[in-house]
Amino acid sequence: DTAVSQTPKYLVTQMGNDKSIKCEQNLGHDTMYWYKQDSKKFLKIMFSYNNKELIINETVPNRFSPKSPDKAHLNLHINSLELGDSAVYFCASSPGGGDEQFFGPGTRLTVL
């Protein structure tokens, strides 16, 4: 009965590789988000989708590409991984126009 789930929970990879993180929510929400939490625990929004449409796109390298196949899923693909991409990535969702965002458990990405 997990509300917002992410896979994988841990991801260790080499510089230059391409990787994807998947997110699914079963709350029936219209809006989904990706956040990055760095080593100092600072949380910053990366992207937001509303009903499969991109509505927020922060200053993120174009190596990061979100994809929303349907409103329950928002995946994050990262090309040519760099050391600075190491962080915890959180997916979140909220009702359309709603305030409360429900976060997933996070994916810890380590780039070696």
- CA nearest neighbour of 72 among 21, 4, 20, 7: 4
Asked if 83 interacts with another protein (CB under 8 A), we say: no
Q: What are the phi and psi torsion angles at 84 (to 5°)?
A: -70, -10
Instruction: Give the type of residue at 60.
Output: V
Instruction: Give the type of residue at 9.
Output: K
Of 18-26, 48-56, 63-71, 74-82: span binding another protein (CB under 8 A) = 48-56
Asked if 12 interacts with another protein (CB under 8 A), we say: no
CB 83, min distance to another protein, A: 22
Q: Among 21, 24, 50, 85, which residue interacts with another protein (rule: CB under 8 A)? A: 50
Contact yes or no for 76/58 (Cβ under 8 A): no
Strands 107-111 and 10-13: what pairing?
parallel
CB 6, min distance to another protein, A: 9
Q: Among 12, 27, 56, 112, which residue interacts with another protein (rule: CB under 8 A)? A: 56
Q: In the block, which residue shows the tokens 């190491």?
A: 86
CB 10, min distance to another protein, A: 11
Q: Residue 39 CB: number of other CB atoms within 10 A?
A: 8
Residues that bind another protein (CB under 8 A): 4, 30-31, 33, 40-45, 48-51, 55-56, 90, 92, 94, 96-106
